[in-house]
Amino acid sequence: MKRWYALYTKPREEVWARTNLEERGLEVYLPRYLKRRSHARKVEMVKTPLFPRYIFARADISLGERPAMAYAQGVEYVLSFGNQLGTVDDILIEEIRRREDENGLVTMGIDTGFKPGQQVRVADGAFSDHIGLFQCSSDDQRVFVLLNLMGGSVRGRLPAESISAEL
């Protein structure tokens, strides 16, 4: 019977391991999401594994598919507890897949409902009652808002629940 197994990969080799497992005929799932990354004054959104160093493979151990998982390039080991391989319920994999958008990326956090450039009011906190322009959501329940402070635009990172569309 085919079951899902958690595999621990080498650092930053989740995609490489997935490719090698798929070439061995296994069904593989690598959930990813968009993460905000800043580097040298450049901000970009990059596809990042939801569970760094972990991927899921569906195999039938009774048919001898364990070596195909354990010895694929990029895989360090199949997660186990003693002599028992760690399995993952189909329901958990389905739940993660239900959270994917049309691009196959898991949506993180809450949907604020705001569009980039939309005017918002800061409802509470140090910037309470300031009006700003919504920029984007972060991957940690926060949003970025451009606030007009001290004669210029200042980018603020605020909790998502602290802004509203009511002006």
Sign of CA dihedral 15, 20, 22, 28: negative
pTM of the predicted model as reported, rounded to 2 decimal places: 0.70
Q: What is the pLDDT of residues 129-157, one digit of tens each?
A: 889 999 887 766 778 888 888 777 888 88
Report the share of the chain in percent with pLDDT over 70. Answer: 96
Asked if pLDDT for residue 95 goes beyond 90, the answer is: yes
More confident residue, 127 or 75: 75
Q: What is the DSSP string of 62-119?
A: GGT-HHHHHTSTTEEEE-EETTEEPEE-HHHHHHHHHTB-TTS-B--S------TT-E
Mean pLDDT check: name the lowest of 8-17, 73-82, 133-142, 158-167.
133-142
Q: Which pLDDT belongs to residue 156?
A: 87
DSSP 50: S
pLDDT tens-place string over residues 55-93: 999 999 999 999 999 999 999 999 999 989 989 999 999
What band does 104 get if pLDDT is binned at 50, 70 and 90?
very high
